[in-house]
C-alpha cells in the first residue's frame, strides 16, 4: 500500500449473496476488491492478492475459517465477519477467535463500507508511521499526525522512553510537504554541553581547540527539511537562549563566526517527561517551552493501551521470523495473557526486544507461559505505584520516572517489612532497640518517624494532575520530610488510584492486606488524637 492507495479488500464468499452486494458497494466507492471462493485454494489466492483486509461473509466459526483467521492475524491482515447471530455473547466469542469486527445480518452495506474505509486508512497511517495499534489512544495519535503533517509549525512530542517518539517525528516529515528533503535526528541529551552548540549550529575553523575545519551544524544540514531534537528537556540553560533565538529568527550563526545564515527548518522536539513540569521547576525557559509547544502530541505508555499488545506481538513475530529465517508456531493463550498483564516499563521497545529473543529461542515450537522470563511472569499481576516526578531531591540530582517509581516502592516495602518483622519480634520477646544493617542504624525523631543517617529525607505529597499525561492519583517528592511521609501518602495515593479497594491497593504497594489494614487503623487513631 503506497501513501495514497486505499488498499485491497479480499472477500471470502462463505455466503454468496452478501458477498456479491459487498463487492459491488466497495467497487462503487473506488476500493479494489478480490473475491475468493472457499472451494478454491484460499490460502494461495490470499498470498497472491496480498490484501490489506479480509471479509468473511458467513460460517465464521467453521474450524477451517477459524484457522484461516488466526493465520491472517499473524500475517498482519485484520479480518471482518458477517454473522447470522446478533447477541452480544456471539460477538464476544468472535472477537476472542480473532475477528476485529463482526456485523450481524442483514448488514447495512453503507455502514460496512464506511467501517472498512476507516480501517484501511488507519492501516495506511500505521504503515507510514510504524505506530501499531487499534486502541482509541493510538487512533487519536494517528489522527493528530495526519492533521499536523501538512503544516510547518513546530511540534512537541511527549511520552515515556520506548513509546515511539522518533517514529512519530519521521511520520510527520514523511506525510508533509518536506518529504524527500533531509530528516536530521539528534539526541541533545546525549551530547556534552561543550559540544552541543557546535553540533546544533556548526563552527568555523579555529573556533576552539580541535576545530581544524569548518563544520555545518544540524540546523544547516536539515535546511528545507525537518530537524528532530530528542530529549529537548536536557538542553542546558545557556544553549536554551541561543536555541530560542534560532527558532524565532530562523537564522543561525556558527560558533566562532559572524555570518548570519538563514534556515528553513521544521523543528520537531521530544521529551520523556512533561516539559511544563521542567518549566515550573525552573530548569527550562518558559519562552522556549511556548515556542516549542505550538502543536503537541502525547504518546501513551504501553500499559495504558494493553489491547494493542497482541497486535504488536504478531507484528514483531512476523518481522523477526523473516529477519532470522526462523519458523514460528505461535504463542499460547496463557503466555499471551502474561504479556498483556505485564506493565512494560520499557514500553514498546522492551516488548520488541523480548519478542525477538522468543523467536530466536523458540526452536520451532509454540511459546508457552514457562518460556516467558520469570521477571515478567512475577510482575504481570502488579500495577504501578502512581509516582509523579517532582522537584530535585538535591541540587544537581534527579531520578527519572521509572527509577523514581522503583525507589519509592522499595522504600515503602522496606519500611513496612522492617516494621512487621520488628512487631513480630516484640510480640515473641520484647527487647531493646538494636542496630540494623551493620553500621547503618535506623533512628527515630521526636515525632516518631524513622530515618537513616546520611540519607537525604524526601517529601511526598498528594497532588492533582497538572496535565493529561499524569495519573489521577500521584505523589511528588521534594526536600524536607521523612520516611513516614512517604509511607502514608503512598498508601493514600494507592487507595485513591484503586477507588478505595484495599485489596488492590495492597497489591499495588506490594504489601500484605493485614499490614495495610494495620497502617490504616494507626492513621485513624492519629486522627482521633488530633
pLDDT at 449: 39
Task: Inform me whether the pLDDT recorded for 396 exceeds 50.
Answer: no
Domain boundary among the residues 129, 161, 192 is at: 129
pLDDT digits (tens, 9 = 90+) for 43-73: 999 989 889 999 999 999 999 999 999 888 8
pLDDT, tens only, 124-170: 888 888 888 888 899 899 989 989 999 999 999 999 999 999 999 99
d(CA 302, CA 342): 10
In this structure, are 230 and 310 located in the same domain? no
Q: Answer yes or no: is 440 within a domain.
A: no
The CB-side HSE value for 185 (13 A sphere, CA atoms) comes to: 12
pLDDT the model gives residue 398: 45
441, part of any domain? no
Whether residue 149 lies inside any domain: the answer is yes
Q: 151 and 112, same structural domain?
A: no
Which domain CATH number covers 364? Answer: 1.10.8.60
The answer on 266 and 123 residing in a single domain is no
Q: What is the dihedral of CA 133, 136, 138, 141, to 10 degrees?
A: 160
Per-residue pLDDT at 445 exceeds 50:
no
Looking at the structure, tell me whether residues 110 and 153 fall in a common domain. no
Reported as a pLDDT band with limits 50, 70 and 90, residue 439 is very low
- Please report where in the chains the cell 513480630 appears, as a residue: 424
Q: Is 145 left (phi over 0), alpha (psi -120 to 50) or beta?
A: alpha
H or E element that contains 262: strand 260-262
The whole-number pLDDT of residue 443 equals: 40
Q: Could you tell me the pLDDT band of residue 271, with boundaries at 50, 70 and 90?
A: very high
Residue 332 has φ and ψ, to the nearest 5°, of -70, 160
**Residue 227, H or E segment:** strand 226-230
Looking at the structure, do residues 311 and 255 belong to the same domain, yes or no?
Answer: no
Residues 169 and 286 in one domain: yes
DSSP code, position 13: -
- Give the pLDDT mean for 523-527: 68
Number of Cβ within a 10 Å radius of residue 291: 17
Task: Work out how many domains the chain is built from and give that number.
Answer: 4
Q: What is the DSSP letter of 333?
A: H
Q: What is the pLDDT of residue 434?
A: 34
In this structure, are 174 and 289 located in the same domain?
A: yes
pTM higher than the cut 0.85: no
Indicate whether 463 belongs to any domain: yes
Q: Is residue 439 part of a domain?
A: no
User: Could you tell me if 206 and 352 lie in one domain?
Assistant: no
CATH of the domain at 39: 3.40.50.2300
More confident residue, 510 or 424: 510
Q: Which domain holds residue 413?
A: 387-430+447-529
Q: Is residue 438 part of a domain?
A: no
Whether residues 100 and 224 fall in one domain: no
| Whether 16 and 61 share a structural domain | yes
How far is it, in rounded angstroms, from Cα 516 to Cα 503? 9
Residue 2 lies in a domain: no
**Residue 513 included in any domain:** yes
Residue range 477-493, pLDDT digits in tens: 555 557 777 777 778 87
* 370 lies in the same domain as 357: yes
CATH number of the domain bearing residue 212: 3.40.50.300
Of 266, 298, 330, which closes a domain?
Answer: 298
Which residues does 8 contact at the CB level (< 8 Å), separation at least 6? 1, 32, 33, 34, 49, 50, 51, 52, 53
Hey, what's the cell of 43? Answer: 490460502
Indicate whether 290 and 148 sit together in one domain.
yes
Instruction: Write down which residue in 77, 109, 129 finishes a domain.
Output: 129
* Grid cell of 334 as nine digits: 496463557
Amino acid at each position: 500500500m503506497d501513501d495514497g492507495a486505499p488498499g485491497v479488500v479480499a472477500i471470502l464468499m462463505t455466503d454468496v449473496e452478501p458477498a456479491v452486494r459487498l463487492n459491488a458497494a466497495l467497487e462503487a466507492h473506488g476500493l479494489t476488491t478480490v473475491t475468493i471462493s472457499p472451494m478454491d485454494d484460499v490460502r494461495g489466492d490470499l498470498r497472491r492478492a496480498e490484501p490489506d483486509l479480509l471479509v468473511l461473509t458467513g460460517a465464521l466459526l467453521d474450524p477451517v475459517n477459524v484457522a484461516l483467521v488466526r493465520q491472517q492475524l499473524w500475517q498482519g491482515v485484520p479480518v471482518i465477519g458477517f454473522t447470522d447471530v446478533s447477541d452480544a455473547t456471539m460477538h464476544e466469542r468472535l472477537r476472542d477467535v480473532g475477528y476485529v469486527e463482526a456485523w450481524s445480518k442483514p448488514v447495512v452495506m453503507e455502514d460496512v463500507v464506511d467501517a472498512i474505509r476507516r480501517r484501511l486508512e488507519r492501516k495506511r497511517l500505521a504503515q507510514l508511521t510504524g505506530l501499531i495499534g487499534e486502541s482509541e489512544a493510538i487512533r487519536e495519535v494517528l489522527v493528530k499526525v495526519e492533521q499536523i503533517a501538512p503544516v510547518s509549525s513546530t511540534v512537541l512530542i511527549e511520552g515515556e522512553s520506548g513509546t515511539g517518539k522518533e517514529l512519530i517525528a519521521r511520520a510527520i516529515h514523511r506525510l508533509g510537504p518536506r518529504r524527500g528533503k533531509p530528516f536530521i535526528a539528534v539526541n541533545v541529551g546525549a551530547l556534552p554541553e561543550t559540544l552541543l552548540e557546535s553540533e546544533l549550529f556548526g563552527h568555523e575553523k579555529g573556533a576552539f581547540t580541535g576545530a581544524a575545519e569548518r563544520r555545518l551544524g544540524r540546523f544547516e544540514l536539515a535546511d528545507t527539511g525537518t530537524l528532530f531534537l530528542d530529549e529537548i528537556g536536557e538542553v542546558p540553560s545557556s544553549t536554551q537562549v541561543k536555541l530560542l533565538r534560532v527558532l524565532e529568527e530562523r537564522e543561525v550563526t556558527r560558533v566562532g563566526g559572524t555570518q548570519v545564515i538563514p534556515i528553513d527548518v521544521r523543528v520537531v522536539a521530544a521529551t520523556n517527561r512533561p516539559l511544563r513540569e521542567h518549566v515550573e521547576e525552573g530548569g527550562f525557559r518558559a519562552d522556549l517551552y511556548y515556542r516549542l509547544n505550538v502543536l503537541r502530541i502525547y504518546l501513551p505508555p504501553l500499559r495504558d493501551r494493553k489491547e494493542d499488545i497482541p497486535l504488536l506481538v504478531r507484528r514483531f513475530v512476523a518481522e523477526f521470523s523473516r529477519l532470522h529465517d526462523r519458523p514460528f508456531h505461535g504463542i499460547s493463550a496463557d503466555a499471551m495473557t502474561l504479556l498483556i498483564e505485564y506493565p512494560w516499563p520499557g514500553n514498546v521497545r522492551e516488548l520488541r526486544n523480548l519478542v525477538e529473543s522468543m523467536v530466536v529461542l523458540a526452536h520451532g515450537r509454540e511459546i508457552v507461559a514457562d518460556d516467558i522470563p520469570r521477571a515478567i511472569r512475577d510482575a504481570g499481576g502488579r500495577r504501578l505505584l502512581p509516582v509523579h516526578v517532582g522537584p530535585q531531591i538535591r541540587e544537581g540530582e534527579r531520578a527519572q520516572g521509572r527509577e523514581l517509581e522503583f525507589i519509592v516502592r522499595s522504600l515503602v516495602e522496606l519500611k513496612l517489612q522492617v516494621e512487621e518483622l520488628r512487631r513480630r519480634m516484640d510480640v515473641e520477646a520484647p527487647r531493646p532497640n538494636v542496630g540494623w544493617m551493620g553500621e547503618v542504624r535506623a533512628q527515630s525523631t521526636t515525632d516518631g518517624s524513622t530515618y537513616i543517617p546520611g540519607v537525604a529525607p524526601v517529601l511526598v505529597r498528594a497532588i492533582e494532575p497538572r496535565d493529561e499525561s499524569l495519573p489521577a492519583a500521584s505523589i511528588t517528592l521534594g526536600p524536607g520530610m521523612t520516611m513516614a511521609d512517604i509511607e502514608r501518602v503512598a498508601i493514600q495515593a494507592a487507595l485513591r488510584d484503586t477507588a478505595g479497594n484495599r485489596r488492590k491497593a495492597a497489591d499495588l504497594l506490594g504489601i500484605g492486606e493485614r499490614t495495610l489494614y494495620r497502617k490504616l487503623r494507626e492513621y485513624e487513631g492519629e486522627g482521633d488524637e488530633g
